[in-house]
Amino acid sequence: MGMYQVARKYQIQVDITGLDIETQLRYPFNRKTMDLQDLSRAYLEQFDFIWASPPCQRYSIAVHPKNRDKYPDLVSVTRDLLLTAGRPFVIENVMKAPIRQDLMLCGEMFGLKVFKHRFFEIEGFEVIQPLHREHEGSVKYGDYVTTAGRGCDGSGKIIDWQNALGIHWERDKKKLAEAVPPAYSEYIFTEYMRAAGIIQDMVIESRSRTG
Average pLDDT of span 159-187: 91
Length of the chain as a residue count? 211
Largest distance between two CA atoms of the chain: 50
Looking at the chain, the whole-number percentage of residues with pLDDT higher than 70 is 91
The answer to whether the beta carbons of residues 54 and 93 sit under 8 Å apart is yes
What is the Cα Rg of the chain in Å?
17
pLDDT value at 46 more than 90: yes
Closest Cα partner for 162 from 154, 151, 171?
A: 171
Quickly list DSSP for 47-115. -S-EEE----GGG-TTS-GGGGGGS---HHHHHHHHHHHT--EEEEE-TTSSS--SEEE-GGGGT--B-
Residue 208 reports pLDDT greater than 70: no
- CA–CA dist 182, 165 (Å, integer): 8
pTM (two decimals):
0.89
pLDDT value at position 134?
83
What element of type H or E holds 20? strand 17-20
Write the class of the CATH domain 2-132+180-195.
Answer: alpha beta
- Residue 151, pLDDT above cutoff 60: no
Distance CA 103, CA 210 (A): 9
